[in-house]
Amino acid sequence: MTQDYITYTAFALVCLLLLTLPFVPAFREWLRPTDFAALPISANYTTDIDHFARRLHADVSARLGLGEPTGFEDFEFVGDPASAAGADLDWRKAEKRLIARSSIASPSPVRSAQPVYVQGSLRAGAESSFPALYATGDITLGEHSTVDDWAHADGVLRMGQRSVALRRMSAGNAIELDNETCFERLHAPALRFGSRVSHVLPPAGAEQTPASYADLPGAVRQTPLLYLIRGDCALPPASIYRGSLVVTGFLTIGAATTIIGDIKAREGVSIGHRASVQGAVTCEKRVYVYKDARTWGPVVSESDILIGANALVGLPDAPTTVTARNIIVEDGVVVHGTLWAREIGMVKQA
């Protein structure tokens, strides 16, 4: 009997010990806190694409005595006639960020291991490479060039065929990417793709017939300006619809049809030849924007977006965003605003 009590007591003590053990570090952390700060949230956080470019610009301005000190003003000068060291510097062996005090035009490739800031324009030959690049004028890089982190031109940023533009590319006027160039995130008032000059067709207005979502099979009126259709939906060609539409299946917009409103389709969207969506396009799967089609608002896909030749996205006075996991744009496409491929984007020859 006594042995039973001893066994029970020992068992109880072991249990108590096991239950108590986790409280030892808990008490220590409570009494002597080591990790208690609020989760940091940057009050000034935004998704501005030129964030790093502006930071480099601020550092350079500080270095040149043109701006407030930033604490990150360590640079080397390159290509500057006033600096002998700068003229002879091997860009690939540079250990500090580089500043060029004037424009650079090199028919041969320029390869730098450090971010470069150019006061003026930069023209570099094929197979140039930079981790990061800023020019107060234009940037023109030959074919097979590479930018690893970001690039910004206050004017126009051009990259030749089969280049690779990783992370963030931005420009004050325009970005022009030639065929078979890969990209991730681009932002400029105008993004032009391919070698072909875009010829934007006039709107298809004259031949269009007014139509209503209410006449579509299975249409459910959600609000006066929004209809819902379960399953697939095909909008006939050369029609004009006013209001927004949600489709739980695949949405096909006929050629030369205009929608004045937003659209959402869960299984996919196809915007036909010369069709126009004067609102946002949202889709959980693939979006096809056919040749010569137009969209005004954001185009969002959780999968892929294919934008056909000569299609136009956004407006010069109303830039917008195109975002998807993968984006393929064909020759002659123009986008006003931001193009953001979370995995990879590519320019395809039509």
Partner 1 sequence: MGAGPSLAQVHATGALIPSFKDYPIAAVMASLLFLIVVTMMIYGVRHFMFTMNRLTGVQRHPYIDIAVARWPMITVFIAAHNEEKVIAGCIEALLNTDYPADRLKIIPVNDRSKDGTGEIIDSYVARYPARISPFHRSTGKAGKSAALKDALHFAEGDIAIIFDADYVPGRGLLKQLVAPFFDPEIGAVMGRVVPVNSAANLLTRLLDLERSGGYQVDQQARMNLNLLPQYGGTVGGVRLSAVEAVGGWHDDTLAEDTDITFRLMLNGWKTVYTNRSECYEEVPEEWSVRIKQVTRWAKGHNQVMTRYWWKFATSSYLTLGQRLDGLLLLFVFVIPLVMLAGWCLALGLNFLNAGSLLASLIPIFALMIYGTLGNFAAFFEIVVAVLIDGNRRRLRLLPFNMLGFLVSLFAISGAVWSLLLDRIFKREMVWDKTIRYRSKAAE
> Which residues of this chain interact with partner 1, rule CB under 8 A?
22-23, 25-26, 28-30, 33-39, 41-49, 187, 220, 222-226, 228, 244-246, 261-264, 280, 282, 284, 296-298, 300, 302, 318-321, 323, 337-338, 340, 342
The conformation of residue 131, written as its DSSP 8-state character, comes to E
Cβ 152 to partner 1 shortest distance, Å: 15
The conformation of residue 37, written as its DSSP 8-state character, comes to P
Q: Which amino acid is at 251?
A: L
Cβ 107 to partner 1 shortest distance, Å: 36
Cβ 80 to partner 1 shortest distance, Å: 36
Q: According to the 3-state scheme, what is the secondary structure of 52-101?
A: HHHHHHHHHHHHCCCCCCCCCCCEEECCCCCCHHHHHCCHHHCCCEEEEC
Q: CB nearer to partner 1: give 145 or 282.
A: 282
Written as one string, the DSSP assignment of 122-154 is: EEE-TT-EEEEEEESS-EEE-TT-EEEEEEEES
Contact indicator for 83, 95 with CB cutoff of 8 Å: no
Instruction: Specify the residue for token string 């009050």.
Output: 43
Q: CB nearer to partner 1: give 232 or 302.
A: 302
Residues 6+ apart with CB under 8 A from 286: 268, 269, 301, 303, 304, 305, 306
Instruction: Specify the residue for token string 């041969």.
Output: 108
Cβ 140 to partner 1 shortest distance, Å: 24
Q: CB nearer to partner 1: give 126 or 182.
A: 182
Q: CB nearer to partner 1: give 209 or 303.
A: 303
Q: CB nearer to partner 1: give 28 or 92.
A: 28
Cβ 15 to partner 1 shortest distance, Å: 12
Contact indicator for 277, 204 with CB cutoff of 8 Å: no
Q: CB nearer to partner 1: give 156 or 265.
A: 265
Q: Which amino acid is at 54?
A: R
What does the block give as tokens for 223?
A: 């609000």
Cβ 285 to partner 1 shortest distance, Å: 11
